[in-house]
Amino acid sequence: MRALRYPLIGTAVLLLVAPVPVRAGNRGIIGGQAVKVADVPWTVALASRERFGPVRSGQFCGGALVSRTTVVTAAHCLSREVLGVEMSEAKDLRVIVGRDDLRGGAGKEIALKDAWVNPAFNPETNGGDVAVLTLAEPVTDKAPIAMAKEGDAAYKPGTEAGVYGWGDMFGNGAYSPTLRGALVYVMEDGMCRQAYPGGPEGVYQPSTMLCAGLPRGGRDACQGDSGGPLVARGRLVGLVSWGSGCAQAGRPGVYTRVSAVAALVWAHSVDPAPGAAPPAAPPPAQPPVAPPVRPPAPSVAPSASPQVAPPAPGAGKRPGRRPRWA
Ligand code: ARG
């Protein structure tokens, strides 16, 4: 039933054949509304025109900018199931920043310098659904979003959270050309467990996942929103990961718990975690070595104490550099 879990490819192909007309006043992410990317500038689209066609800029997943050169997304977005080929064969993967309407050319498309897909991602449970993309050039005009840390109050059940993306608006393959968002609520682990005790879609694991939605359903992320941000109290708390259908009562959306993977993300980012020790200053250039000059023998004993060479600048203990790639 794997093909049913990520029906994006088939839908994308369908979209190429019969583009979905844009309906004015439509609802979704599901049950959401239009959002300006300027208001959520860390929301990015993942795209490959080669794999998904030129319609909607080739968008197929979402992501979140967490530093100038680091985007987090879902591991399953980069799987063969979604891409149709191994990631290494998808040559034109791009991150799109600052583009509300995927039919236009606003904002910027940035190539990837590197991509790390969590090797511990488990497609059976959906546990560990995170990947780190390193951008070929830094984003300097959009603020990244802070990742929630362990114990963040934003994880308290009942907290309001926004989820953003260009995915399916009705659960029928009608992908949105424009960015949309929906307000949902962080749910209690007990409810999430009850909804997903272990089934073909995945298994709810509170240590690495959280679930969010409305008890009566009606608002949710859906296909094509994967990897995109769930934000509460101004922090990135989740990444769209999985669910059973979309927006159904008793079937909340399940998200990668960002606090559980933040350390992994920084370990695979070229930018240091905020608050981490700043990198040691580069050693100053050595002063040119002057040729030894034999001073003329003084005719009288010097009155001043002999000159002592000052210590080489930068000598002494320097803090070790943080490894850039763990
Ligand atoms: N796996 C889907 C994707 O690849 C996301 C599903 C989210 N489902 C939900 N009910 N929240 O886009």
Q: Is the CB of 260 under 6 A from ligand 1?
A: no
Helices (H), the chain: 2-5, 8-17, 49-52, 80-83, 189-195, 258-267
Q: What is the DSSP letter of 216?
A: T
Confirm whether 76 is a catalytic residue. Answer: yes
Tokens describing residue 67: 């530093």
Residue 225, ligand 1, Cβ within 6 A: yes
Q: How far is C-alpha 287 from the chain's CA centre?
A: 44
Domains and CATH numbers, the chain: 21-267 (2.40.10.10)
8 C-beta closer than 6 A to ligand 1: yes
Looking at residue 277, what is its pLDDT?
78
Of 67, 226, 241, 259, the catalytic one is 226
Q: Is the CB of 222 under 6 A from ligand 1?
A: yes
**Catalytic site residue 226?**
yes
Closest Cα to atom 11, ligand 1: which residue? 253
Mutation pick for ligand 1 pocket among 29, 210, 241, 244 (CB with most ligand atoms within 8 Å): 241
Distance from the alpha carbon of residue 195 to the mean position of ligand 1, in angstroms = 15
Task: Give the residue carrying structure tokens 């390193």.
Answer: 134
End-to-end Cα separation, the chain, in angstroms: 35
The first and second tokens of residue 158, run together, are 């009942």
Best mutation site among 5, 225, 251, 254 for ligand 1 pocket (most ligand atoms within 8 Å of CB) = 225
Does ligand 1 come within 6 angstroms of the Cβ of 93?
no
For residue range 253-263, what is the model confidence (pLDDT) as tens digits?
A: 999 999 999 99
CA-CA distance, 240 to 238, in Å (whole number)?
7
pLDDT in tens, 259-318: 999 999 999 999 999 888 776 777 666 655 655 555 544 444 433 333 433 333 333 333
118-140 pLDDT, tens digit each: 999 999 999 999 999 999 999 99
Q: Would you say 109 and 184 are in contact if contact means Cβ atoms under 8 Å apart?
A: no
Q: Does ligand 1 come within 6 angstroms of the Cβ of 196?
A: no
From the list 143, 67, 145, 133, the residue with the least C-alpha distance to 95 is 133
Entry pTM: 0.79
Q: What is the pLDDT, as a whole number, of residue 118?
A: 98
Whether 168 lines ligand 1, by a CB cut-off of 6 Å, is no
Nearest CA residue ID for atom 6, ligand 1: 242
Low-confidence ranges of the chain (pLDDT < 50): 1-28, 296-326
Annotated active-site residue 129? The verdict is: yes
Closest ligand 1 atom to Cα of 255: 11
For ligand 1, whether the C-beta of 165 sits within 6 Å is no
Atom nearest to 223 CA in ligand 1:
12
How far does residue 262's CA lie from ligand 1's centre (Å)? 21
Query: Is 223 a pocket residue for ligand 1 (Cβ < 6 Å)?
Result: yes
Q: Are 247 and 213 within 8 A, CB to CB?
A: yes
Q: Which of 259, 269, 219 is nearest to 239 (CA)?
A: 259
User: Closest ligand 1 atom to the C-alpha of 251?
Assistant: 10
Angle value at C-alpha 239, between 88 and 24, nearest 5 degrees: 100
